A and B are shown apart, each in its own frame.
Chain A
C-alpha cells in the first residue's frame, strides 16, 4: 500500500470516529444537540469526500475491510471521552481487528 493510500484511509477512519463520537455526545448533551448534530453531519460529508478519494487509490475489496478499524478507534475513543469500559469480549474483538488489518495491509495491493 502506498503512503498516500495509507494516509487517506487513516484520515477517513479518523473523521468517521469523530463523527460517531459527536453523535454520541449529541445524545447526551440536549442543550447543544442541534449544533452537535450539525457538526456530526458536517463530519459525515467530510468522511464521504475522503472515502471517495480512498476508493480512487485502493480496490473496494481492500478498502472496505480496512474501514473495520473504525470499530477499534470508536471503542478507544469512547473509553477516553465517555469512560466506557472495554470488557474482555471487546478487547478480544479489538485484537482480532488489529491482527486482520495487519494481515490486509501486508497483502499485495
Chain B
C-alpha cells in the first residue's frame, strides 16, 4: 500500500513530538555527561556518577517513548519520508545545543551538518520500501 507523500497534520504532529523527544534525549545525555565529567580520569567513577544523575535516566527512559512514536509514525506514513524527516534531528540538536547549552559552533560545522542531513535523508529514503510490512521490519534510524 503506497500512501500520499504529504502526511496529514496529525502525523506531522507525531513527527514534531518525535524530533522534540530525540533532541531532549541528546540534551539530557550531554548534561549528564558534563555533570559526571568532573570525575574524568577515573573512568569507573565517571560511569558510577552517571548512574546517580537523573538526566541520565531521563535520556535512557525516553528510549521506549522514541520507539513507540517511531512505530506509530510508521503505521501512518512511508518509511522513506520518516527517515527524511528524522534526519532533521541533526540541525535541530545543533540549534538546541547553541540555544540551551551555550555551545559555540563554527560556520563550517553548520555547513557540514547540512551535508550530513542531506546525505542521511538520501540514504534513508528508499522508494522501493513503502509497504507496511516491510516498513515495520526496519529499525529506528541509526544515529546519536
Contacts and interface: CB of A to CB of B under 8 A. Distances in A.
A52 B60 CA distance: 12
Classify chain A: how many residues form its interface, as a range.
35 or more
A103 B142 CA distance: 21
Contacts, number: 162
Contact of A56 (B37, B119, B125): B37
A74 interface: yes
Main secondary structure of the interface of A (DSSP, over half): helix
Interface in B4-58: 26-27, 29-30, 32-34, 36-37, 40, 43, 46-47, 50, 56
A68 B119 contact: yes
Main secondary structure of the interface of B (DSSP, over half): helix
Interface in A50-109: 51-53, 55-56, 59-65, 67-68, 70-72, 74-75, 89-90, 92-109
Contacts of A51: 29, 144
A55 B29 contact: yes
B112 A104 contact: yes
A57 B26 CA distance: 15
B123 interface: yes
Interface of A: 16-17, 20, 23-24, 27, 48-49, 51-53, 55-56, 59-65, 67-68, 70-72, 74-75, 89-90, 92-109
25 contacts: A17-B142, A52-B46, A55-B29, A55-B30, A59-B97, A59-B104, A59-B105, A60-B27, A60-B29, A60-B101, A64-B97, A64-B143, A65-B93, A65-B112, A65-B113, A67-B144, A68-B90, A93-B124, A94-B123, A96-B118, A97-B115, A97-B123, A103-B108, A107-B106, A107-B107
Interface of B: 26-27, 29-30, 32-34, 36-37, 40, 43, 46-47, 50, 56, 60, 89-90, 93-94, 97-98, 101, 103-109, 111-126, 137, 139, 141-144
